[in-house]
Chain A
Amino acid sequence: MARSYALIVACGRDRPGLIAGVASAVAEAGGNIEDLDEVVMKGLFVMSLLVSLEGSASLEELRRKLAERGGELGLKVEVHDPVAEGWMDEGGGDRSGAG
Chain B
Amino acid sequence: MRVVVTVAGLDRPGIVAGVTSTLASLNANIVKARASSLLNLFVMVMLVDTSQLKVPLKVLEDALKERCNELGVAVSMEAEADFVKERRLVAFDADGTLIDAEVIDELAKEAGVEEEVREITRRAMEGELSFEESLRRRVRLLKGLPLERVLRVASRVRVVPGAREILEELKKAGFITVLITGGFDVVAREVGRQLGFDYVFANRLVVKDGVLTGEVEGEVMGPEDKLRLLKEVAERHGISLEECAAIGDGANDLLIIRNVGLGIGFNPKRVVREQAKAVVNIKDMRAVLAILGVGRLKEDVKARVESWRK
Q: Chain A residues in contact with chain B, CB under 8 A?
A: 14-21, 23-24, 26-27, 30-40, 47, 97-99
Taking a contact as CB atoms under 8 Å apart, the answer to whether A33 and B16 are in contact is yes
A20 contacts B23, C-beta separation under 8 Å: yes
Q: Is B86 an interface residue (CB 8 A)?
A: no
| A27–B16 alpha-carbon span in the complex (Å) | 9
Q: How many A-B residue pairs have CB under 8 A?
A: 83
- A37 neighbours in B (Cβ, 8 Å): 33-35
A43 to chain B, nearest CB (A): 10
Could you list some 12 contacts between A and B, CB below 8 A? A16-B23, A16-B30, A17-B24, A19-B16, A21-B24, A24-B21, A33-B15, A36-B36, A38-B30, A40-B31, A99-B38, A99-B295
With A30-B13, A40-B29, A99-B37 already in contact, 8 other A-B pairs whose C-beta atoms are closer than 8 Å: A15-B29, A17-B21, A19-B24, A20-B21, A26-B13, A35-B35, A37-B34, A47-B33
B11 beta carbon closer than 8 Å to chain A: yes
Closest 3 CB pairs of A and B: A17-B24, A36-B35, A23-B17
Once A14-B29, A19-B30, A20-B24 are accepted as A-B contacts, the answer to whether A34 and B13 lie under 8 Å apart by CB is: no
When distances are taken between beta carbons in the complex, the residues of chain B under 8 Å from A32 are 11-13
Q: How far is the CB of A7 from chain B (nearest CB, A)?
A: 14
Interface residues on B, range: 20 to 34
Does any Cβ of A come within 8 Å of B276's Cβ? no
Q: Is B73 an interface residue (CB 8 A)?
A: no
Residues of A within 8 A of B31 (CB): 14, 39-40
- Tell me the interface secondary structure of chain B in the complex: mixed
Cα A2 to Cα B280 with chains together (Å) = 33
| A36 neighbours in B (Cβ, 8 Å) | 16, 33-36, 44
Q: How far is the CA of A13 from the CA of B185 in the complex (A)?
A: 59
A39 vs chain B, min Cβ distance (A): 5
Q: Pick from B11, B16, B28, B32: contact of A23, CB below 8 A.
A: B16
For B38, the closest partner residue in chain A by CB is A99
B240 proximity list for chain A (CB < 8 A): none
Residues of A close to B84: CB separation below 8 A: none
CA distance A36 to B44 in the complex (A): 8
- A30 CA / B301 CA spacing, docked (Å): 28
When C-beta atoms are compared, the residue in chain A nearest to B12 turns out to be A32
Residue from A19, A30, A39 in contact with B20 in the complex, judged by beta carbons closer than 8 Å: A19
CA distance A31 to B17 in the complex (A): 11
